A and B are shown apart, each in its own frame.
Chain A
C-alpha cells in the first residue's frame, strides 16, 4: 500500500512530475510518455526525410543537373530511404500509438515490461544517431539505396558501416517493442476481455508484433553479415570469394516484405477504430478483420520473391511467388469491404479523422491495385525499376501509413493532450495535403509506364511535363503538412480543453480522463458478458 498512494489518480500523466525538467521524460517508464518521446523524435527525423524528398523532387524539376549531381542524388535517396523506412514507417504506429494506447485500450496500467520499453526507445535513438553519424562523418554519405544490396554495399567507398549498424540496432528496438506488446496482450487484458472482445487496433498490434519478432532477426543477421563482409571479407555474399549476392536479396526480402505489414497492419488497425466511431456503428465483420490481419501476417512471409522477379529465379519460383502475392491481396480487400460496409447506413459524422480514414481507403486501393501490376510476372518485367515502382511504394507506405498516422493523431489528439484542435485548419490541411500527395505521386505511374527509370538524377526531355507536375505536388503537399503540424502544435498548447469522450467512442481509452492519469485507470475495468469494443 505504501507506494500505491504515491501515484495520484487525479493528476494527468502530463502534469505528474517525478523528476526535474527533461528527466520527467527520459527517465519515465510511463508508456504514454514513451509513446510521445517516440512521436517527437520521429517528427524531427521525419522533417529531415521530407527535406531530402523535396531536394530530390527539386532536382527532377528539369532534365540535367539542377541542384545536385549524380553522386549527391544517390546519397540523398539513400538517406531519405533509410530514415523514412527504418526510423519512421516501420516503428511509426506501434511505437507511438501502440505505446500510448495499447495498455489503455486493453484496460491495463502499463505494458508488461515498462523498463524494457524505455530501453527500446534508447536503442531507437542510438540507431538513429548511428545513421546520422554515417552522414556527418567519414568519407562520403552512403549511396547504396536503403536496401544495402550486395555486393555494392561492401564495395562502395562511402561511410556505410555506421548506417548498416544503425539499421541493425533499430531492428533490435523493434524486436523488443514487439516482444513487450505480445506479452502485454497475453497477460494484461482486463478481466472479462476475451480475445474476441479486444478492440481491433490492439489486434493489429498483436499481428504486427509477431512479424517484428519473427522477421527482424533474419534481416539483423543479414546486415551483420554485410558488416563482417565489409570489415573482414568473409565471402558469403561476395562472388569473388564464392558467395552469392542473390542470397543477400532473398534474406533481405524475407524480412523486408513482412516489414511492409509491420507498417500497414497497425495503420489498418487505426482505421478500423476510426470508422466505427465516426459512423456510430458496430464494425462490420469484426472477426473477418481479425482473421484477415492474421492471414496477412502469415501469408506475408511467403511472398518476398516478388521483389526479385528480374534478379534471376527459376520459373517455378516466379509463378509461386506471384500466386502468393495475389493471395495476400485478398485479406487486404476483405478489410476494405468491411470498412465500407461499416459506413453503410451508419450515421456518418464528417470530422477530420473520418476524412483521413476515407482518403486512406482511396489511396490504399490505388496503391494495392498498382501492386498487382508489379506482382504479375509479365507486367513486372515491363515496369520494374521504373518510377512506377516508386509511385506504388509511396501510395502504400506513405499513403497508407501516412494517412492512417494523421488520421490517428487527429482521432486521439484530444485524449493525448486533453485539448481540441482547430477543425477548420485541420480539414484545410488534409485537403491541401491530399491534393499535393496525388499531384506528387500519380504522375510517377505515368512516367514509369513511359519508361522513366527510378534512382536517376537526370531524365529524357519527353518526361519533363509530368515531372514538373510531380515537383509542384511536392510543394503543395509540404504546404499541407506545415498547416497540419502548426495547427496541432498550437492546439496542444492553446486549444480548448477536450472532454473525456468527444467523439462518443466505445473503446476503453474514452472512459478515462483526457489526458489520462499516470496509471490510466483508478480501478481496472471489468468486461461483462455483453460488453464489447463497438457496442453502439
Chain B
C-alpha cells in the first residue's frame, strides 16, 4: 500500500488541497462580490455620470491587458499538462512566461494609473472634487479600489507562481506531486476571471 509506506505521505491528499483552494476561491469571489454590489448600486443611481466617466478610460490598454491575462491563463494551464507529461523544462518555461506576462500587465496598469494621476484624477484630488459630479467621483473611487485590489491579487498570484518555480527546481513539486502547481494555476485563473468582469464594467459599458 502506497499510503502506509512513508508516514508524511499519508497526510498528502491532493484532493483535500484542491477542495481547500476552491473554497478559498469562493471567498475571493465574495470579496469582489461586495464591490460588484456597490458598483451596481451606484451605477443604477448615477447612470449618466458613470457613462461620462467611463469615457475617460483607455479601452485599448484595457483590451491589451485582457489578452495578456487570457494568454497567461493558457500558459499556466499548459504548465500543469507539461508536468503531468514529466516535461520539467517546459513546465518551468511556461511558468516563466506566465510571470513575465503578469509583469507586463502590471506595467501597463502603472502607465494607465499614472496617466489618470497626470490628469488630476485620483481619490481626493481637487479636480475630482471641484469639477466632477458625485457619480463621477464614485466611478473613479471604485475604479481605483477595484483595479488596485485586482493588481494586488496579480502580485500575490505571481508570487505563488514564482514559489512553485522554486519548488519545481528543488524537486519538491514533481510529476507525482504537483497539487501546489495546480492550485496556483487555479488561483491564477481566478485573478483572470475577476479581470474579465472588471474590464467590461469599467471600460466597455458606457
A-B complex is real = yes
Residues of A within 8 A of B (CB): 1-4, 110, 112-114, 116, 175, 179-180, 182-183, 186-188, 213-214, 216-218, 220-222, 224-225, 228, 232-236, 241-244, 247, 251
User: What residues of chain A lie closer than 8 Å to B19, measured between beta carbons?
Assistant: 182-183, 186-187
User: Per DSSP, are chain A's interface residues mostly helix, strand or loop, or mixed?
Assistant: helix
Q: Which residues on the B side are within 8 Å of A244 (C-beta)?
A: 41
Assess whether B138 is in contact with A187, with CB atoms less than 8 Å apart.
no
Interface centre among A182, A221, A222, A244 (most CB of B within 10 A): A221
Q: Which of B23, B141, B145 interacts with A241 by CB under 8 Å?
A: B141
CB of B62 closer than 8 Å to a CB of A: no
In chain B between 26 and 74, which residues have their CB closer than 8 angstroms to a CB of chain A?
26-28, 30-35, 37-38, 41-42, 46
Residues of B within 8 A of A214 (CB): 26-27, 30
In the A-B complex, list the 3 residue pairs whose CB atoms are closest, starting with the nearest.
Answer: A242-B134, A234-B141, A4-B7
Residue B20 at the chain A interface, CB threshold 8 Å: yes
Set of chain A residues within 8 Å of B120, measured between Cβ atoms: none
**A113, B21: Cα distance in complex, Å:** 12
- Indicate if the CB atoms of A235 and B138 lie closer than 8 Å: yes
Please list the residues of chain B having a beta carbon within 8 angstroms of any beta carbon in chain A.
Answer: 4-8, 11, 13, 15-17, 19-20, 23-24, 26-28, 30-35, 37-38, 41-42, 46, 123-124, 129, 133-135, 137-138, 141-142, 144-145, 149
Q: How far is the CA of A236 from the CA of B134 in the complex (A)?
A: 10
| Shortest Cβ gap from A120 to chain B (Å) | 13
Cross-chain pairs A/B with CB under 8 angstroms, 19 sampled: A1-B7, A3-B8, A112-B20, A116-B20, A175-B27, A179-B23, A183-B20, A187-B19, A213-B27, A214-B27, A217-B27, A225-B38, A234-B123, A234-B144, A241-B141, A243-B42, A243-B141, A247-B41, A251-B37
A232 to B124, CA, bound (A): 6
Once bound together, how far apart are the Cα atoms of A3 and B141, in whole Å? Answer: 55
Chain B contact surface mostly: helix
B4 partner residues in chain A, CB cutoff 8 A: 1
Q: Which residues of B contact A188 (CB under 8 A)?
A: 16
- Determine the residue in chain B with the shortest Cβ distance to A235: B141
Complex CA distance for A234 and B141, rounded to whole angstroms: 5
Contact call A182/B16, Cβ cutoff below 8 A: no
- When the two chains form the complex, which single residue of A217, A222, A242 contacts B137, counting CB atoms closer than 8 Å? A242
Question: Is B7 a contact partner of A241 (Cβ separation < 8 A)?
Answer: no
Residues of B within 8 A of A220 (CB): 31, 34
**Residue pair A233, B7 in contact (C-beta under 8 Å):** no
What separation, in Å, do the CA atoms of A175 and B25 have in the docked complex? 12
* B137, A235: Cβ atoms closer than 8 Å: yes
Q: If the complex has contacts A234-B123, A235-B123, A242-B138, are A183 and B31 also in contact, measured as CB distance less than 8 A?
A: no
Provide the residues of chain A in CB contact with B124, threshold 8 Å: 232-233
Contact A221 B137 (CB under 8 A): no
Query: CA–CA, A222 to B141, complex, Å?
Result: 14
A178 shortest CB reach to chain B, Å: 8
Known pairs A2-B7, A233-B123 / 16 extra A-B pairs, C-beta < 8 Å: A1-B6, A3-B7, A116-B20, A179-B27, A186-B19, A187-B19, A214-B27, A217-B27, A217-B33, A218-B31, A232-B144, A234-B142, A234-B145, A241-B137, A242-B138, A251-B34
Cα–Cα, bound, A221→B149 (Å):
10
Interface centre among B42, B46, B135, B137 (most CB of A within 10 A): B137
Minimum CB distance partner of B133 in chain A: A242
Within the complex, the shortest CB–CB distance from A138 to chain B, in Å, comes to 21
CB <8 Å contact, B34 and A221: yes
B134–A241 touching, CB < 8 Å: yes
A216 lies within 8 A of B27 (CB): yes
Looking at B35, B41, B46, B144, which has the most chain A CB atoms within 10 Å of its CB?
A: B35
B31 touches A217 (CB 8 A): yes
State whether B13 touches A112 (Cβ < 8 A): yes
Closest B residue, CB atoms, query A233: B124
The reply to whether B142 and A218 contact each other, CB–CB distance below 8 Å, is no
Give complex CA distance A357, B46 in Å: 53
Residues on the A chain within 8 Å of B8, using CB: 3
Minimum Cβ distance to chain A for residue B166 (Å): 18
Instruction: Assess A241 versus B16: contact at CB under 8 Å? Given A4-B7, A235-B123.
Output: no
Q: Nearest A residue to B38 by beta-carbon distance?
A: A236
